[in-house]
Amino acid sequence: MFSNILIYFVVIPLVMLLGIGLCHNRDPRPIRAVAVIGSLALTALSVCLLVQYLALRPTTDAPMLFVDSWSWFAPLNIHLAVGVDGISVAMILLSSIIVLAGSFASWKIEQPKEFFLWLILLSTGVFGFFISIDLFTMFMFYEVALIPMYLLIGVWGSGRKNYSAMKLTLMLMGGSAFLMLGLIGIYYHSAPEGGQLTWNILEIAQNDAISHGWQTFLFPMTFVGFGVLGAMFPFHTWSPDGHASAPTAVSMLHAGVLMKLGGYGCFRVAIYLMPQAASELAYIFLILTGISVVYGAFCACVKTDLKYINAYSSVSHCGLVLFAILMLNTTAMTGAIMQMLSHGLMTALFFALIGMIYGRTHTRDITKMGGLMRIMPYLAVCYVIAGMASLGLPGLSGFVAEMTIFVGSFQHADMFHRVFTIVACCSIVITAVYILRVVGKLLFGPVVDKHHLELTDATWWERVSTVTLILCVAAIGCFPNFFNELINKTFTPEIFSVLGMTSPAL
Amino acid sequence: MQQEIGLLVVFLIVFLYDVFMPAKCQRALPGLTAVLMTLLTVAGFAAELMGCNPSATSAFAGMYQTGPAMAAIKIILNVGVIIVLIQSVKWANSEAMAMRRGEFYQLLLVTLFGMYLMISARHFLLFIIGLESASLPLAAMVALDKKRYESHEAAVKYILTAVFSSAVFMMGLSFVYALTGSLYFENIYFALSGQLSMMLVLAIAFVIAGIGFKLSLVPFHLWTADVYQGAPTSVTSYLSVISKGATAFAFLVVMSQVFGVVYSRVWEWMLYALIILTITVGNLFAIRQRNMKRFLAFSSVSQAGYIMLGVIAFNGMGLAAMMYYILVYIFSNLAAFGVIGAIENATGKLSMDDYKGLYRTNPRLSVAMMLAMFSLAGIPPFAGFFSKFFIFTGAINQGSVAIYVLVLIALINTIISLYYYLLVVKAMFISEDECTIANFRSSCGERFALWITVGGILALGLVSWFYNSLLGIASDSSMLMYFVH
């Protein structure tokens, strides 16, 4: 069991949980040490995985690598099955970087023991989700990742934290209720009549036994189930409140990683397993995600709370992820994955910076702050970089991702897709509006509050956290081809034999 | 038969000890009962593991029959009883209980014996005997707190509903007898095939109503909250898990082995409506409760609805999932009652408002309570998630579209239930109010029971052996032949 590298992505967080559990609550140093060492180990492991994956990929045609499976509930054919392709590797890399940055960002948190216990339980769920290829374990890890959010926001949050925490938890769990039904339904139709039913994604895709009628029922179930976490309109309302109330590291992890679970799940389960229904029903969800993209961006324009602005910007950007996935062609889907990476990193950066600014000024209202460029130049410059990445400046990650998405989307020759692509493209302009508004007001405007002049710039752990993220954002922007290759290899002929049947623009 | 005889022996020992041992030895009675029950359970478990239990034994001219599934559910109930016994040591040894200590244990064992009979009965006469001896002594147990007014009120409410529901149940039986001329399960089963009359529908409705009272299915649940609140906490926990679990299993036996032939024609839809009502109403009422015992009463009403999904599934997987659900429910609910009982014994406080900020004063109890709540709500990796998942999987195995809808309704209801379970977590962990409960050290028995239940919550799901073997038992079971649609 322990010869497979993937299993360590769950083992390391569990060891971290144990380590932190043994620490004493009053002294934060050993807790920080465990968190940092553990997340460094995770990052190292994910880089190691990336290298191994790239080395192995050309040698085989298998859709997934490092595939392994251990029987768990044998009578129901439930396995602890793991396996990764390029998308999962990219997501694992993203998660480990953000966990690392998040640990640094919560250096001075109160009640560190409980905080890190929940945070690491959350990341256990995230990593478990990305390595699983068994629907049952995948769903289990999915829910493990959701529930710590309640306490993380409720205890360490700010503002209307009780309301937000409850709303977020109930809405996400509501999504997973649909999801659970969808997954059980997939299980019972996973094999042809008389065959061995299975939860394994690869086997289900190979069997291709879900009848057309059942696909049209199960596809919306699973897509909406994951789509709630992907902040799809009209199920996005948990996101602004949740992010606004959450503490810094939690916002980072949530917007950076957890929302990606939604997009990843939509692709891996809903579309991959039920391609026919996906291509037929895509238009409904295209409309919804199209609304998310534009609506989120407009909302961000009128908010004055920094966290709300970025939460709505996340709604818009994550909507773009789902939008691109639903285009059902290689280019757009590659763009979607790039967008997940890009959005994950830059939102994490945004929320980290907002947390740092809030920690100093004790306000997040942009009308009550100004001229931060003079007061804390380091943080201000970082903010500008994040903003530029968000509005799609070439050389940073946002441009690469959005470009790929829109090129891919426009490949569809019909009116409907093109109109919606154009509408979604408009969001770039709106993004520029709200980003530049904040940058202009917050960073370059006049100093509003005289007390702010005494504030200090970033400390060393804050610098570590931000520099890591900025380097990653720039890396994607400068070497898009590397990531493109990594992700693109996923769309092997096997996958497109499933997907391509009905996809119009291949 | 061994398990019943073993239980009778335990009862006799406890009875004789209570009557003949001098007063100064009486404080050992709770411990003695717990040890004896543990021995009985271990013996039964070992017999089950080694396959000593013959696949089906019958006695009293076929009125009594047991098999692997029955033996397994009895062991599960025994485990729950042991936990209740350990939890109740402090309460039973309190000043007020000094004169009634023996009564509590004897009554408890008698009701357990009644449940055994109910589970294994294959003739309605024996079933009624089991049902009555499982419910009437419970009324006396509810009234054990002689000095508390609520306890009396609860006992009266309980006995009136119990008697009334028995009457309704027997009314149904008389119809069945009129239709088929027999009270043997097997004879009725075969006599009913091909029959469909208004009388049969009425008979089944009466039977479901009669047992529904015991299970507190909506709309027969009105006694639940008051009785749970009024009864001593140890009795409440016994009532909510053991009595409910046993009755649910007996209900499955009756519905499949007696009325199995008319499943889709008559009672599937009755149960369908009852499940939706039970889960929804239970959940909605639980939201408003501030008293922890009333809160858990409504939570247990809705949990009964989930258990019924195993009955409506009407297949081996449903049976296994139901037994597993009962097992997990015993551990989760007893963990919650363990915390409530410990706090009540130490401070007398029962309101959810008193729990505000509990984590700061009593972190361990709060964590135990949180795990119990998460498990009841079905959050992974705790056992409740697995039991919910498997009972839904079992139900959907039935295959009809209607079941998909039912499961969807049940799933949406889990969100409502999550809301009120989180209210408790919120009170304990998030609320910033000053906690009115000072730090205290709970008694040895309470702590031991909490460790067991918390261990169960963590292990029962992640260790697949429990579910796998229950599924194995269910698919070997002779009951499987009755599950024909």
Asked if the Cβ–Cβ distance from B422 to A180 is below 8 Å, we say no
Asked if the Cβ–Cβ distance from A147 to B472 is below 8 Å, we say no
- B6-B11-B16-B18 Cα dihedral, nearest 10 degrees: 140
pLDDT range class, residue A503, cuts 50, 70, 90 = very low
To the nearest whole angstrom, how far is the Cα of B336 from the nearest Cα of chain A? Answer: 19
Most confident of A22-36, A486-500, B235-249: B235-249
Instruction: State mean pLDDT over B360-365.
Output: 89
pLDDT range class, residue B55, cuts 50, 70, 90 = low
> Does pLDDT of A452 surpass 80?
no
Asked if the Cβ–Cβ distance from B379 to A136 is below 8 Å, we say no
Interface ipTM: 0.92
> Does pLDDT of A434 surpass 70?
yes
Residue A492, φ and ψ in degrees, nearest 5: -75, 165
Among A73, A75, A184, select the one facing B392 at the smallest CB separation: A184
pLDDT at A413: 80
Asked if the Cβ–Cβ distance from A165 to B385 is below 8 Å, we say no
Contact B100, B32 (CB under 8 A): no
A74 touches chain B (CB under 8 A): yes
pLDDT at A491: 60
Q: Tell me which residue of A263, A205, A240 sits closest to A62, measured CA to CA.
A: A205
Q: Which of residues 255-314 of A touch B (CB under 8 A)?
A: none
pLDDT at B328: 95
Mutate to test the interface with B, among A126, A167, A173 (most CBs of B within 10 A): A173
More confident residue, B209 or A3: B209
pLDDT at B437: 83
Instruction: State mean pLDDT over A458-475.
Output: 84
Cα B337 to Cα A356: distance, rounded to the nearest angstrom:
44
Coil/strand/helix, residue A436: helix
Among A144, A169, A177, select the one facing B414 at the smallest CB separation: A177
Instruction: State mean pLDDT over A178-184.
Output: 93
Asked if the Cβ–Cβ distance from A73 to B468 is below 8 Å, we say yes
Among B408, B415, B430, select the one facing A162 at the smallest CB separation: B430
> Does pLDDT of A506 surpass 50?
no
pLDDT per position as a tens digit, A306-327: 888 888 998 999 999 999 888 8
Show residues of chain B in contact with A161, CB under 8 Å.
430
Q: Which of residues 114-153 of A touch B (CB under 8 A)?
A: 136, 140-141, 143-144, 147, 150-151
pLDDT per position as a tens digit, A467-485: 888 888 888 888 888 888 7
pLDDT per position as a tens digit, A331-372: 888 888 888 988 988 888 888 888 888 888 888 888 888 777
Asked if the Cβ–Cβ distance from B408 to A147 is below 8 Å, we say no
pLDDT range class, residue A134, cuts 50, 70, 90 = very high
Show residues of chain A in contact with B430, CB under 8 Å.
151, 154-155, 161-162, 165
Asked if the Cβ–Cβ distance from B425 to A150 is below 8 Å, we say yes
Contact A271, A499 (CB under 8 A): yes
Both structure tokens of A335: 């763009």
CB neighbourhood size of B291 (10 A): 16
pLDDT at A504: 37
Show residues of chain B in contact with A184, CB under 8 Å.
389, 392-393, 396, 407
Asked if the Cβ–Cβ distance from B408 to A177 is below 8 Å, we say yes
In order of A140, A260, B414, the CA distances from A230 in angstroms are: 18, 7, 21
Percent of chain B clearing pLDDT 70 (strictly above): 99
A197 touches chain B (CB under 8 A): no
Q: How much is the mean pLDDT over chain A? A: 85
User: In this structure, which amino acid lies at residue A294?
Assistant: V
More confident residue, B97 or B131: B131
Residue located via tokens 């992010």:
A243
Chain B: residue whose CA lies nearest to A72: B464
> Does pLDDT of A104 surpass 60?
yes
Contact A307, A251 (CB under 8 A): yes
Cα A366 to Cα A357: distance, rounded to the nearest angstrom:
11
Asked if the Cβ–Cβ distance from A177 to B419 is below 8 Å, we say no
In a 10 Å sphere around its CB, with 0-12 CB exposed, 13-18 middle and 19+ buried, how is residue A18 labelled? exposed
A235 touches chain B (CB under 8 A): no
Chain B: residue whose CA lies nearest to A111: B360
What is the distance between the terminal CA atoms of chain B, rounded to a whole angstrom? 31
Residue B219: asked if its preceding bond is cis (omega within 30°), the reply is yes
Mutate to test the interface with B, among A24, A78, A160 (most CBs of B within 10 A): A78
Instruction: State mean pLDDT over B220-230.
Output: 91
Among A147, A150, A185, select the one facing B404 at the smallest CB separation: A185
pLDDT at A490: 64
Residue A79, φ and ψ in degrees, nearest 5: -120, 160
Show residues of chain B in contact with A151, CB under 8 Å.
425, 429-430
The DSSP result for A170-217, as a single string, is HHHHHHHHHHHHHHHHHHHTSSSTTSPP--BHHHHHHH----HHHHHH
Among B374, B380, B429, select the one facing A154 at the smallest CB separation: B429
> Does pLDDT of A493 surpass 60?
no
pLDDT at B166: 92
Instruction: State mean pLDDT over A453-458.
Output: 76
Binding-site residues on chain B for chain A (CB distance < 8 A): 374, 379-381, 385, 389-390, 392-393, 396-397, 399, 404, 407-408, 411-412, 414-415, 418-419, 422, 425-426, 429-430, 464, 467-468, 471-472, 475
> Does pLDDT of A143 surpass 60?
yes
pLDDT range class, residue A499, cuts 50, 70, 90 = low
pLDDT at B54: 58
What is the distance between the terminal CA atoms of chain A, rounded to a whole angstrom? 40
Show residues of chain B in contact with A73, CB under 8 Å.
464, 467-468
pLDDT at B145: 84
Alpha helices in B357-398 (DSSP H): 358-361, 363-377, 383-396
Asked if the Cβ–Cβ distance from A143 to B385 is below 8 Å, we say yes
pLDDT range class, residue B53, cuts 50, 70, 90 = low
Per the document, the length of chain B is 485
**How many inter-chain contacts (A to B, CB under 8 Å) are there?**
80
Mutate to test the interface with A, among B430, B432, B463 (most CBs of A within 10 A): B430
pLDDT at A224: 92
pLDDT at B148: 84
To the nearest whole angstrom, how far is the Cα of B282 from the nearest Cα of chain A? Answer: 18
Domain definitions of chain A by residue range? 5-499
CB neighbourhood size of A212 (10 A): 10
Mutate to test the interface with B, among A25, A166, A238 (most CBs of B within 10 A): A166
Asked if the Cβ–Cβ distance from B422 to A169 is below 8 Å, we say yes
Show residues of chain A in contact with B380, CB under 8 Å.
140-141, 143-144
Coil/strand/helix, residue B463: coil
Largest CA distance in chain B: 66
Among B392, B411, B468, select the one facing A75 at the smallest CB separation: B468
> Does pLDDT of A162 surpass 70?
yes
pLDDT per position as a tens digit, B135-169: 899 999 999 888 888 888 999 999 999 999 999 99
> Does pLDDT of B134 surpass 70?
yes
3-state SS of chain B: helix, strand, coil percent to 5?
80, 0, 20
3-state SS of chain A: helix, strand, coil percent to 5?
75, 5, 20
Among B396, B411, B471, select the one facing A177 at the smallest CB separation: B411
Chain A: residue whose CA lies nearest to B425: A151
Cα A405 to Cα A261: distance, rounded to the nearest angstrom:
19
Alpha carbon A126 to its chain centroid, in Å, reads: 10
Q: How much is the mean pLDDT over chain B? A: 89
Instruction: State mean pLDDT over A233-241.
Output: 87
> Does pLDDT of B479 surpass 80?
no
Among B380, B404, B475, select the one facing A181 at the smallest CB separation: B404
The helix (H) or strand (E) run that includes residue A66 is strand A65-73
Asked if the Cβ–Cβ distance from A154 to B414 is below 8 Å, we say no
Alpha helices in A57-147 (DSSP H): 86-105, 112-131, 135-146
CB neighbourhood size of A479 (10 A): 12
Mutate to test the interface with A, among B426, B428, B460, B470 (most CBs of A within 10 A): B426
